Structures are given as C-alpha cells and as structure tokens.
Amino acid sequence: MRFSNDFLDEIRDRVPISAVVGRRVTWDRKKTNVSRQDYWACCPFHGEKSPSFHCEDRKGRYHCFGCGVSGDHFRFLTDLEGLSFVEAVQQVADMAGISIPQPDPQAERREKERTTLQDVMEMATQFFQDQLQTASGARARAYLRERGLTGRTIETFRLGYAPESRNALKEYLAGKGVPKEQIEACGLVVHGPEIPVSYDRFRDRIMFPILSSRDKVIAFGGRAMSPDAMAKYLNSNETELFHKGNVLYNFSRARRALQGADGAETLIAVEGYMDVIALHQAGIENAVAPLGTALTENQLQLMWKTTPVPVLCFDGDGAGQRAAFRAVDIALPHLKPGQSVRFAMLPDGKDPDDLVKHDGRAPFDRVMAEAQPLAAMVWAREVSSGVFDTPEKRAELEAKLKQVVAVIGDENVRRHYQQDIRDRLYAFFQGSQPQRGERGNFQGNGRGQGQGGQGRFGGRQPGPVAAGRGAISDRLARSGLVRGHQDQPTLRETVLALTIVNHPTLLEDEYDEIAAIEFENAALQKLWSSLLTAVAEADHGLSREVLIGKLEVHGHGTLLRTLDQQIRNARLWTATEIAAAEDAREGYRQALSLYKRARALKRQRKELEREVAEATEADDAERIDQLISALHEVQSEVARMENQEAIIDGFGVMSGRVKGAATGHH
C-alpha cells in the first residue's frame, strides 16, 4: 500500500520519536535531558553497557554512535521488530490517533498527477537555469553579480532567468510533449475563458524556484528586471502543488541546517528571497522567508514543528515594526510551554543583505543576539505611543494589556503573561509617579512600598518582586551575577563548568551530579552539551588537553577563555588547571552547594509569585499578606547570596587590575 508523504509527515509530527523508541529501551537518567527532548539509552541493536544510542524528538531521528544505525519512527519498527513498512505505519498511526487512509482511486490518481506536475516544474526550472547562461540572460547575470552572489550560490539556489518572449517557456514545454493542461495546472502560463491564447506568466524576470519540504520544485518567484514592471516580485498562483500561505522559502534547506552535526540554534524568518540567499552565502543557512506576504499562522506552525522558539527578523523602520506587531497577534493564541517566538529588529534602513555584504555574518549575529522575547514586544507595542500621566490612561493601558494576553490559549502560559504584565505595570507606574513625600503625592493607606499594600494601578502587588527589578546596587550591577543574565555567566556557574573542564577526573566520581547540572546561561548550556557528548563518545577517561581540544572544535574556544579570565579576576584558583586535585574537588563541591541553594530559592520564589498572583485574582487579602511575607524572606536570602557573589567578583576584578598595574600589564 502506498502512503502520501503528507500523511507520513503528519503522523511523524504528532508522535515524538521518543514515544516509539521508549517502548523498547530504558532511557539513561544521567545523560537524558527530557526538557530538551534529548534522550540516551543502551542501543537495542547491539549489546553495550554504556549508552551510545541517541534519540532527538526535534529531529525525529535516532542514531547509535556505537554501531552506526539510524532512522526514523518507521525504520526503528521495521529494523528492530521485523514489521513491514505498512505495519509500522499502522502502529505509529494508532499512537497518533489517526486512521490509515483507505485505498482511494481518486486520491491515487491525484497523487500521480502531482508527481507528473512536479516533473513539469523540474523541466521549467532547468529551462530557466539554462536561459540565465544565454546572451538574453546577460543583464540578469550582471544584476546577480552586483548583488554579490557567487556562481556557487546561484547554482545552489538554482536561480534562472525567464526570457522576455511571451511564449518561450510554453513553446519549450510543448516541444517536450507536455500537454497544455499540465502547463496550465502548474501555473506557468496565464490562461482563462477571456484569454484567447495563453502566454508565459513569468517574462524578463530573475527566477527563484520555491521548493516543498521534500525538496521538490512546486512554484516560482520572479524578480522583474524592468523598472516599469507592474510588480517588482511575482509569485506563482495557487495550484495543486502550491499553497502560498503554507510554504516558506528555503524551509527544507534551513531545516537540514538545524539537523546537521553543527546544527544552528533556531529558524530565522526574514523578509524575502534575496535576504535568505545573502545570509546563506555568509554562512547563515537557517533562514526562511514568507512568499511576498506577511507571515501566516500556517507558516508559523510549520516553523514550530521544527524549532520551539524561531526568531522573526524585521526591518527597523515603521513598516518593519508594524509587521512585527502583526506577528505578535498571530503568535499569541498559539503559545505553549516552551513554544514561543523572539523578535530581532534590524537597524533602520538596513536589510540582512546590507549587513552581511561587507563585514560578513558578525553584524547580523549581533542583531540576533539582541532578539527580544514575545512578552517584551507585547509591552513595547502598547506603551511606545502613549502618555500615561493620568489614572484613567493608566487604567486604560492595564485593561488593554489584559485584553491582549487573554487570547493566549494555554492556561499556564496565559497566567505567567498576566503576572509578567502586572510586574511591568507596577515598575512602570511606580517610576512615572512622584515619590512619597513629594508635593501632591497621594498618601494611600500609610503602608510602605513592598509590604503588600495597594499597588499603584489597583490590586495588591508583590512589592519585593517588582521593586527588586530596579533596586540593584552599583557593586551588584558590575558583578558576574547581573552580567550573567545578559552575556556573562554567573560566577558560581563559571566555577562549576571550568573546574570540570580543567579537572575532568572529577567526572569519574561525580558524573551523576555533573550530568544533571542545568545552566541558566545559554552559552554554558551548549558547552555542557558538547562536554557530555565528548565524554559519552570517549572509550576511556579524557585528559584536560583532549577535552579542551574537542570543545574548541565545537566552537567553544572563546567562551573557555572568557570563563578562565573571569575566575582569574575573582582569584578563584581552585577552578584553574594549577589547583591540586583535592583543592579542585573541594572548590567544586562548594560551588555546587551554592548552585543548588540558588536554584532551590529561585524555584521557591517562582512558586510564591505564582501563589501571590492567584491570591490577587481571588482578592484574598490575608493570604496575600502571608505570601508576601514569605516572599520577602526568600528575596532577602537571594539578595544576600547575590551580593556575596558580587563582592567576590568585584573584589576579584579590582585585584586583577591592581595586579596588572603593579606588573605593567593592561
């Protein structure tokens, strides 16, 4: 029995591959990271004692680093259990709750027709590619050279040229025996009852083939060479093969970039074809683009099937901001735990092509590093154009924000957005009003700020939390802890990571705890993943030099040097390579104890904040006071630990400078 690719993709998307494999293996608790949908087990295909069988839900694939087997849902069942392909599909479909489609002669006929139409589109693609190399394609070649595209890039994206003649493609395909009905069904000609003779849809245009998720040409985009053309860019019309709102340009290639050995972090959505191609040429292969229209809900869902938090990149001008705000409305109803979007705004007047043309990928990477979460865009949209100098205007803003986040379908995500809005409003209005004791200040009920009293905009507020957002001492602001929430890891996370890198023998006795560490800093998360993978692939223990070499190969060299400088500035010598083994072990255990205490306090604080939010919704004043008292104690303990770390880090920085000055080093 033959199954359509769409049906197979649907059941693969609905059933995580870990659910199929997990029924036959036991996941290793040390190496498995469920939150990242990353699983390890002893290989079921060959006998082994240490887990080298790797399964990733994001990729929908498994691979054994020991015996080399790999595959998808169906391959696992056919190879391990000896099922036929049809039986394997039936089993996964049952898990997905989807019925196997019954044989349908009409559906089979349409599938054959689609295959035939794809053959016609392939012929058209080759025709356009050939025309680009002819004399009539000279202007198009010159334009592509002016845009900085290399011959290799042009070939990779199969760019071509549609001649000016009204019938060049039609006559070429007819000469190959393609019936006019198929040419029309592909959208390659303009035809209809009021058009006596059909003619080529694309004329005097640079041609961009648009591929399906399975790398088949299903449509074209054409960029006009003439400045007088009615449309600068023209896409294929809707056909049996092509539904514009469901397709992303370069999607299949970008998805492979995420799945490669040095996989990109996430998908990036940019505006147009040339942006995607320019980024690819600069080494950024994980970019996609909508097809001449604003991003659609279906296109966003397509990205979410591949990556949990894609980045939407927009121009920094007014039009770009409006497009970003429209994307906010599209994304909000569909948010789920771990599923969201981020927004990267380009410098005004610049597009991705401009950024990478002269200085390579670095300027664009900086834009990506500053991408903002969806919650920040929601806030920016509502407050950027308003003045909230009266109670009525502030109440209007609060009501508007409540209305915006109310569309979020997932209850848990909606609750956290509501709490985020409350915190932002509290800090915003507190900063916009005169302080207590100033002329004209309303004295309220006499309670001090941060004691669970009436908030500035109505409702009881968790004072210590909101106030804490802005109350950071100068010393703490300079510390590694605050910088850790921006670029640099916290000092305790640095000590944990670098002690292990410099003393990998600790892995032999402390592996369980080491493998369970979850860093807050994104760069350290990637470093840790590479470290654990290197350990898993090693036949025996790793030396410091070999481990560092493997980490540098995976692009962590700069981070390792930054971490080393951080601990040397702080004079924490137990984390360096010169420390004795027993000293390194003791320093590691102290840092781990601080790490665990800090994690526990943060979990406790989040839980209390959630309970405060619930009590606020219920208007339970007594419960609010009890919770805020407990929250204040936790907050004080967090502040004590953070200030202690800031003192250590700040002293280390000063000591390093003094030492450098004394020895003449800068």
DSSP 309-352: S-EEEE-SSHHHHHHHHHHHHHHGGG-BTTB--EEEEPPTT--H
Whole-angstrom Cα Rg for the chain: 29
pLDDT for the residue 390: 87
For 325, other C-beta atoms within 10 Å of its C-beta total 17
Is residue 585 domain-shared with residue 653, that is, in the same domain?
A: yes
CATH label of the domain that carries residue 109: 3.90.980.10
The pLDDT confidence band at residue 406, using thresholds 50, 70 and 90, is very high
The pLDDT confidence band at residue 520, using thresholds 50, 70 and 90, is confident
199 in Cβ contact with 166 (< 8 Å): yes
Residue 172 counted as domain residue: yes
Say if residue 333's pLDDT is above 90. Answer: yes
149 in Cβ contact with 281 (< 8 Å): yes
pLDDT for the residue 262: 57
pLDDT for the residue 454: 35
Average pLDDT over residues 168-197: 92
Residue 10 counted as domain residue: yes
For 188, other C-beta atoms within 10 Å of its C-beta total 28
pLDDT for the residue 622: 76
pLDDT for the residue 442: 32
Say if residue 114's pLDDT is above 70. Answer: no
pLDDT for the residue 431: 55
Residue 32 counted as domain residue: yes
> What is the C-alpha separation between 426 and 467, in angstroms, rounded?
8
pLDDT, one tens digit per residue, over 17-27 is: 999 999 889 99
Least confident of 169-173, 456-460, 543-547: 456-460
Residue 576 counted as domain residue: yes
Tokens of 628: 């805020």
The closest alpha carbon to 190, from 204, 200, 181, belongs to: 200
The closest alpha carbon to 124, from 36, 44, 42, 239, belongs to: 239
3-state secondary structure of 84: coil
Is residue 624 domain-shared with residue 597, that is, in the same domain?
A: yes
Domain boundary among 242, 267, 286: 242
Is residue 78 domain-shared with residue 112, that is, in the same domain?
A: no
Average pLDDT over residues 646-662: 38
CATH label of the domain that carries residue 78: 3.90.580.10
pLDDT, one tens digit per residue, over 141-163 is: 999 999 999 999 999 999 999 99
Residue 357 counted as domain residue: no
Is residue 91 domain-shared with residue 114, that is, in the same domain?
A: no
Q: Which spans in 133-205 are helix H?
A: 138-146, 151-156, 168-175, 180-185
pLDDT, one tens digit per residue, over 227-259 is: 888 888 899 999 988 988 889 999 989 988 886
Say if residue 296's pLDDT is above 80. Answer: yes
> What is the C-alpha separation between 658 and 652, in angstroms, rounded?
10
Say if residue 2's pLDDT is above 80. Answer: no
Least confident of 48-62, 101-115, 252-266: 101-115
Is residue 484 domain-shared with residue 627, that is, in the same domain?
A: yes
Residue 272 counted as domain residue: no
**What pairing do the DSSP bridges indicate for beta strands 217-224 and 233-235?**
antiparallel
Angle (CA) 11-12-15 rounded to 5° is 80
Beta-sheet strand order (sheet of 217-224): 160-162, 205-211, 217-224, 233-235
Average pLDDT over residues 253-268: 77
Is residue 148 domain-shared with residue 13, that is, in the same domain?
A: no
Residue 472 counted as domain residue: no
Is residue 587 domain-shared with residue 503, that is, in the same domain?
A: yes
Give how many domains the chain has, as a whole number. Answer: 3
Is residue 162 domain-shared with residue 235, that is, in the same domain?
A: yes
Average pLDDT over residues 529-535: 82
Average pLDDT over residues 168-183: 92
Distance of CA 85 to CAs 1, 22, 165, Å?
A: 9, 19, 49
3-state secondary structure of 196: strand
Quote the domain boundaries for residue 112: 104-242
Say if residue 203's pLDDT is above 90. Answer: yes
Say if residue 384's pLDDT is above 60. Answer: yes
Say if residue 301's pLDDT is above 50. Answer: yes
556 in Cβ contact with 530 (< 8 Å): yes
DSSP 369-392: HTPEEHHHHHHHHHHTT----SHH
Least confident of 22-31, 354-363, 589-598: 589-598
pLDDT for the residue 386: 78
Say if residue 470's pLDDT is above 60. Answer: no
pLDDT for the residue 632: 77
Residue 408 counted as domain residue: no
Is residue 496 domain-shared with residue 631, that is, in the same domain?
A: yes
pLDDT for the residue 584: 85
Is residue 65 domain-shared with residue 145, that is, in the same domain?
A: no
Q: Which spans in 433-521 are helix H?
A: 463-470, 474-477, 480-484, 491-502, 506-516
Is residue 140 domain-shared with residue 219, that is, in the same domain?
A: yes
Is residue 11 domain-shared with residue 125, that is, in the same domain?
A: no
pLDDT for the residue 318: 79
Domain boundary among 242, 266, 291: 242
Domain boundary among 41, 68, 96: 96
Say if residue 294's pLDDT is above 50. Answer: yes
